[in-house]
């Protein structure tokens, strides 16, 4: 670590104590941010952690919808997102108004929204899900028709596991769709012993090549197994830092250097420090939207 970084980290630790703050970090964050995490995880694990923390301030090192979910669950806490530009392009592929229109066309369908959505869209949904619990969430519903928003690839993946009628929104993750079958086929040839783990936001042709289809948290658990010594990792490459740190001696092969989410990389040590100094930028969901969105998130957490 550079001398400046050490100084910044020490300031963060001191201020964190003073503010009674907790630092929650998504698996795709930069290594320097992963290193200062109180808790690191996938979207589901982070929302569960946010729901239970007794800290007064949550510094959310991830993207906007994750900070919103924390605010939905913890109305009395201050939720800081160190860079407000850290959005999720997929979450912006569906608006509440568009969803209201589609619901009119499908009155019998249950609306299942991926957590990668705005609070307004969650407020229009029956239940949320993440990549870790999507199949269980849809299985828990009595409806035969499912309107799934916004990720068409995650929705398609679930539809291959459950015998219900799916209506998929045409959204997708720009980072995961850059991963092509050819990337995996080449790596399989170069690393024949490696297990191939794939995030369900990937294209179906990529998922077809997987040994396991897992959330980022699922990948971290899978990597610890004794029978896994090499892993081709088909998701955003930030996770490689955590996998290598937690599993010295094992080999982790990123699927493609292009699998980068630029939004996830906007959070830096300097911005974390500044957010704790200024107690801003804050992400706050309030009023009716929060109450309605909370019902969808709570239903998901009950299933999980
Ligand atoms: P996970 O919930 O698996 O961490 O995925 C979040 C995400 O944004 C994937 O792109
Ligand atoms: Fe959104 Fe994709 Fe980035 Fe995840 S990796 S935050 S889904 S753009």
Interval 4-61: pLDDT, tens: 899 999 999 999 999 999 999 999 999 999 999 999 999 999 999 999 999 999 999 9
Q: Are residues 166 and 219 in the same domain?
A: no
Examine the domain organization and report whether 31 and 77 are in the same domain.
yes
pTM: predicted TM-score of the whole model, two decimal places = 0.97
| Mean pLDDT calculated for residue range 256-280 | 98
Task: State residue 269's pLDDT score.
Answer: 98
48/184 same-domain check: no
Mutate to test the pocket of ligand 1, among 25, 37, 42, 173 (most ligand atoms within 8 A of CB): 42
Asked whether the beta carbons of 134 and 151 are under 8 A apart, the reply is: no
83 and 8 together in one domain: yes
Residue nearest to atom 8 of ligand 2 (CA): 88
Residue nearest (by alpha carbon) to ligand 1 atom 9: 201
Q: Which of 24, 25, 27 to mutate to test the pocket of ligand 1 (most atoms within 8 A of CB)?
A: 27
Same domain, 112 and 150: yes
Task: Please tell me whether residues 104 and 231 are part of one structural domain.
Answer: no
- Please report the pLDDT score of residue 187 as a whole number: 98
CATH number at residue 71: 3.40.50.10800
Q: Domain range spanning residue 78?
A: 3-87+264-284
For residues 201 and 153, membership in a common domain is answered with: no
Mean pLDDT of 229-249: 98
Residues 157 and 299 grouped into a single domain = yes
Q: How many residues does the chain have?
A: 304
Name the residue at shortest CA distance from atom 6 of ligand 1. 43
If asked whether residues 81 and 95 sit together in one domain, one would say no
Q: Report the chain's mean pLDDT, rounded to a whole number.
A: 97
* Residue 164 and residue 297 share a domain: yes
Is residue 121 scored above 90 in pLDDT?
A: yes
**Same-domain pairing of 130 and 56:** no
Q: How far is the CA of 160 from the centre of ligand 1 (A)?
A: 20
Number of domains in the chain: 3
pLDDT tens profile 161-206: 999 999 999 999 999 999 999 999 999 999 999 999 999 999 999 9
116 touches ligand 1 (CB under 6 Å):
yes
């Amino acid at each position: 670590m550079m001398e400046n970084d050490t100084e910044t980290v020490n300031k963060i630790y001191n201020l964190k104590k003073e503010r009674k703050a907790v630092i929650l970090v998504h698996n795709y964050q930069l290594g320097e941010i992963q290193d200062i995490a109180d808790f690191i995880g996938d979207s589901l694990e982070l929302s569960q952690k946010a729901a239970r923390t007794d800290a007064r301030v949550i510094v959310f090192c991830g993207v906007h919808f994750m900070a919103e979910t924390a605010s939905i669950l913890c109305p009395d806490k201050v939720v800081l997102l160190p860079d407000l530009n850290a959005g999720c392009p997929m979450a912006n592929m569906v608006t509440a108004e568009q969803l209201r229109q589609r619901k009119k066309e499908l009155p019998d369908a249950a609306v299942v929204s991926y957590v990668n959505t705005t609070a307004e869209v969650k407020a229009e949904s029956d239940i949320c899900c993440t990549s870790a619990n999507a199949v269980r969430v849809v299985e828990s519903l009595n409806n035969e028709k499912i309107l799934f928003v916004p990720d068409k690839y995650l929705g398609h993946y679930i539809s291959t596991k459950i015998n219900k009628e799916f209506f998929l929104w045409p959204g997708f993750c720009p980072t995961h769709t850059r991963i092509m079958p050819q990337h995996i086929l080449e790596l399989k040839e170069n690393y024949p012993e490696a297990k191939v783990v794939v995030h369900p936001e990937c294209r179906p042709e990529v998922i077809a090549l997987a040994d396991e289809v897992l959330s980022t948290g699922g990948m971290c658990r899978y990597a610890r197994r004794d029978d896994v010594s090499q892993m081709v990792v088909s998701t955003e490459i930030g996770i490689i830092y955590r996998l290598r740190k937690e599993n010295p001696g094992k080999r982790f092969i990123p699927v493609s250097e292009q699998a980068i989410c630029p939004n996830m990389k906007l959070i830096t040590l300097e911005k974390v420090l500044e957010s704790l100094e200024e107690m801003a930028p804050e992400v706050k969901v309030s009023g009716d939207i929060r109450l309605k969105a909370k019902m969808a998130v709570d239903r998901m957490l009950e299933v999980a």
